[in-house]
Structure 1
Amino acid sequence: MTLTMKASTFALIALRLWNYIQQVITEAKYLEQLGFQIPELGRNVALQEDNGLLSETLASLNAPETELLGDHVRELQRVLKPGAKRLNWSSSGIGDYIAQCDLAITKMESLVDQIHKNAHDMELRLKLVEQTDLFRAPPPGPGGCYPKQSYEYFDCIGTNRNSVIGILARKYHAIGPLLTKVEGLVVNTNTGRSPRLKPYYLYLEKRFFAALSTMVYKNLELYLARLRGDAPVFVVNAVLSAAEVVTSPPVKEIYKLLTQSVRKTVESVRRFVRWMYGTCIECAPQHVEGRDEPYVFSFQKDIQVHPRFLDVVSQLNMTITQFLGGLNKYLTRWRNKCSGDCRGNYFGEDRREEVELREAQAQDLDFVRIQLKPLTTKIQETAQAWVTSLGKLLNDSARDALFGLRNQLQGLMRRQALL
């Protein structure tokens, strides 16, 4: 049987035994209140009511904590063992034995309390990591303007992500000193690499890896849900550039912004450097030949190969690709529409189409709102420029023809006068 099993079994047996003894103590107290004579042994047992807290204290330890305190639990067993075998309440050395037990129990309870405080602190840090929102929507602009333009939106997302990751990284870096304090309590050293704490280091590193993984997966799934939702996430402008209908930013830039947000989310875990094996000391960056930047031992590669990560990234790529295909089709319809309108064909030919063009303001396409006002304004300006240009050409042509006709008429009139 391992030390962990021995310690946990001892705690479980002690707790069950204490539950039974507590019933006896309660019955003895009530019987004494009712006026019954209680044997001396029963009164002595009732006086030890507070010592039963030890059983509850030991039972509150989880498996890694029980293994961590294995030596202390074994020492406590050694101190308590005489009372379970050769001593009774009438033994001559019972007073010294009780004093030793009180001292050992107090020491154990104090140690467990310190371990639990540190564990609670680390648990809060882990929960904070798991619940972090790396895609927090930016606040509305002046006058409640929402959603924001694409560059502004992703800039706000990136700024928030860097700020939050910075806070979490500082909290992660502080776990090492916390574990050094635990080491001082348990083995009276402060090296950060105690062999006695090796299983505890591994346990906490796995817990933090799980928390980071949850943070990345949940945030990418939140990002996916937002892109698949009905509400527009950000705004792009439709514009007329060199007689071509395009978006600002261009479609390739929109794709870059969308995918870059995914990549930055995964790369953010590089701020959480892994510990050297069997320690709580962070690995130093390693300079690798042929690489410009030093290699950092982080959780990034482990997260990237997880099936849950691969699945959500695949869905994101598919959603983004489908959106860009729909966006190109939508722009193509505008290009076809503008091929005639930009030359002013709608003036006088289709007044309904002219009205629709003037009234077009915006179009929601999946998760993007396309602002059409810059495009329609430019189309109207271009069409008006065509009308003005054509009018000038027609005016010049008609004027030349009229002047020519006048000259002919004047010539005819002069010849008629000579006759």
Structure 2
Amino acid sequence: ASFNALNQMVQSAMGTLQAMVDARSRKARAAGSAKPPLFKITFSLQSVDIVIQPPVNEVNKVLGRLVRSMVESSKAFVRWMDGTCIEAPEQRGANEDDEPVVFTFYWDVAANPSVIKVMLTLNQSIQRAISGVSRYAESWRRQQSLWKTDKASVLDKFAAKDPPAAAYEEKLTKYTRMAADLAMQARDVDQEFVRVSCHALASSVRDEALGWVRAISASMRSIDMAALSSVRERIRDSDRALHARPSTLEELKAVLGLIAWTRSESMAMELKYADLEERFRTRVLFAQPADAAAACAEYDDACTVRGAWLELVDEADR
């Protein structure tokens, strides 16, 4: 009778836990009858690693101990000596250091096929949740290039190829969309009976994506400002030379050559300042709120090159 009661007690305890797990399973969520998760795990980004708190291994160990403790609770029930109601005394080994052996119902309960079956089912449910959490963490780790890659090194190599505005825009679009998608992922996700909170992680990874947007814009800006300065200087020097009064034949030839150059370079210069305008406009489109005003001002400034060149062409045609 005691053995049957203990078996029933252990199976009832594990069955109750299994019912709690099943009520929060994926199937229960699909049926719309799921209950809130039993506990929460938090994902965060610390330095260059995704940190899970509490760690998945620790959660697995604790849950494993919980299941085992249900079976091991039968150790508290000592067997009686045959034909009596007297508890069997503990047996000591030959050496004093040996642990005494206590005759309990534990080994019989643990070997019961019904108990083993329930225990196996419960452990499988736990492993599904643990595996789900691990897979979800791995899906975030696939984006680790965002925070582990050296931005300066990558962008220096990219800039060395003298990419067009479209290439920069493609990269800016990629990381801007990534940041937007990450903002959408800043929510709680349930993996079986475990709730995973990734608000902190999503926020950190989103900041990394926006960091790429800022770094790409900064790399683009340094090139564009140098190009803008070069074009402005050429127009300014040409304008100064056109307004100079030649006093020698050589100086006159130089002015006439400049006029001819201005007319011949009209199409090339138009393409150049149009490209500059497009590059500055691209940075305005992807500017962060804190940088938007400065980017707009620089764009307006870049657009003045068009007028300066057209004035130079008019001056050359007079």
Q: How high is the TM-score relative to the length of structure 2?
A: 0.52
2-side partners of 1:362 and 1:234: how far apart?
Answer: 12
**Is the alpha carbon distance of 1:289 and 1:346 closer, same or farther for their aligned partners in structure 2, counting shifts above 3 Å?**
farther
Question: What residue is the counterpart of 1:304 in the other structure?
Answer: 110
| 2:101 partner SS | coil
Deviations 1:2-51 (A, max 9, x none): xxxxxxxxxxxxxxxxxxxxxxxxxxxxxxxxxxxxxxxxxxxxxxxxxx
Question: What residue is the counterpart of 1:264 in the other structure?
Answer: 69
- Equivalent residues in 2 for 1:310-321, closer than 5 Å: 310-321=116-127
1-side partners of 2:189 and 2:111: how far apart?
Answer: 38
Q: Percent identity?
A: 27
- In the alignment, is residue 357 of structure 1 matched against residue 182 of structure 2? yes
2:138 aligned to which of 324, 328, 332: 332
Runs (5+) with no aligned partner, structure 2? 25-34, 152-169, 245-250, 252-318
Runs (5+) with no aligned partner, structure 1? 1-206
2-side partners of 1:390 and 1:351: how far apart?
Answer: 11
Contact 2:175–2:210 at 8 Å: present in 1 too? no
Could you tell me how far 1:367 is from its partner in structure 2? 1.2
Amino acid of the residue matched to residue 382 of structure 1?
E
- In the alignment, is residue 209 of structure 1 matched against residue 9 of structure 2? no
Amino acid of the residue matched to residue 240 of structure 1?
L
**Is the alpha carbon distance of 1:340 and 1:284 closer, same or farther for their aligned partners in structure 2, counting shifts above 3 Å?**
closer
| 1:265 partner SS | helix
- In the alignment, is residue 367 of structure 1 matched against residue 214 of structure 2? no
2-side partners of 1:291 and 1:252: how far apart?
Answer: 33
Contact 1:347–1:354 at 8 Å: present in 2 too? no
Question: What residue is the counterpart of 2:208 in the other structure?
Answer: 382
2-side partners of 1:350 and 1:392: how far apart?
Answer: 14
Aligned-residue CA RMSD in angstroms? 4.2
**Is the alpha carbon distance of 1:348 and 1:341 closer, same or farther for their aligned partners in structure 2, counting shifts above 3 Å?**
farther
**Is the alpha carbon distance of 1:239 and 1:362 closer, same or farther for their aligned partners in structure 2, counting shifts above 3 Å?**
same
**Is the alpha carbon distance of 1:350 and 1:401 closer, same or farther for their aligned partners in structure 2, counting shifts above 3 Å?**
closer
| 1:297 partner SS | coil
| 2:58 partner SS | helix
Question: What residue is the counterpart of 1:253 in the other structure?
Answer: 58
- Equivalent residues in 2 for 1:211-290, closer than 5 Å: 211-230=5-24, 231=35, 232-241=37-46, 243=48, 245=50, 247-277=52-82, 278-281=84-87, 283-284=89-90, 286-287=92-93, 289=95
Could you tell me how far 1:268 is from its partner in structure 2? 2.6
1-side partners of 2:22 and 2:3: how far apart?
Answer: 28
| 1:308 partner SS | helix
1-side partners of 2:85 and 2:51: how far apart?
Answer: 56
2-side partners of 1:368 and 1:287: how far apart?
Answer: 45
**Is the alpha carbon distance of 1:389 and 1:354 closer, same or farther for their aligned partners in structure 2, counting shifts above 3 Å?**
closer
| 2:201 partner SS | helix
| 1:318 partner SS | helix
1-side partners of 2:42 and 2:94: how far apart?
Answer: 45
Question: What residue is the counterpart of 2:296 in the other structure?
Answer: none
**Is the alpha carbon distance of 1:376 and 1:256 closer, same or farther for their aligned partners in structure 2, counting shifts above 3 Å?**
same
How many aligned residue pairs are there? 211
Could you tell me how far 1:289 is from its partner in structure 2? 4.6
| 1:238 partner SS | strand
1-side partners of 2:96 and 2:225: how far apart?
Answer: 76
Deviations 1:140-172 (A, max 9, x none): xxxxxxxxxxxxxxxxxxxxxxxxxxxxxxxxx
Contact 1:358–1:376 at 8 Å: present in 2 too? yes
Could you tell me how far 1:292 is from its partner in structure 2? 5.8
Amino acid of the residue matched to residue 228 of structure 1?
D
Question: What residue is the counterpart of 2:154 in the other structure?
Answer: none
Could you tell me how far 1:218 is from its partner in structure 2? 0.8
Q: How high is the TM-score relative to the length of structure 1?
A: 0.41
Amino acid of the residue matched to residue 371 of structure 1?
S
2-side partners of 1:312 and 1:288: how far apart?
Answer: 38
Could you tell me how far 1:355 is from its partner in structure 2? 4.0
**Is the alpha carbon distance of 1:397 and 1:352 closer, same or farther for their aligned partners in structure 2, counting shifts above 3 Å?**
closer
Could you tell me how far 1:256 is from its partner in structure 2? 1.6
2-side partners of 1:402 and 1:276: how far apart?
Answer: 99
Q: Which has the higher contact order (CA 8 A, sep 6+)?
A: 2
Deviations 1:168-218 (A, max 9, x none): xxxxxxxxxxxxxxxxxxxxxxxxxxxxxxxxxxxxxxx333322221111
Amino acid of the residue matched to residue 380 of structure 1?
R
Deviations 1:82-124 (A, max 9, x none): xxxxxxxxxxxxxxxxxxxxxxxxxxxxxxxxxxxxxxxxxxx
| 2:80 partner SS | coil
Amino acid of the residue matched to residue 300 of structure 1?
Y
Amino acid of the residue matched to residue 315 of structure 1?
T
| 1:240 partner SS | strand
Amino acid of the residue matched to residue 10 of structure 2?
V
Amino acid of the residue matched to residue 2 of structure 2?
F
Contact 1:237–1:247 at 8 Å: present in 2 too? yes
Contact 1:287–1:293 at 8 Å: present in 2 too? yes
1-side partners of 2:97 and 2:223: how far apart?
Answer: 70
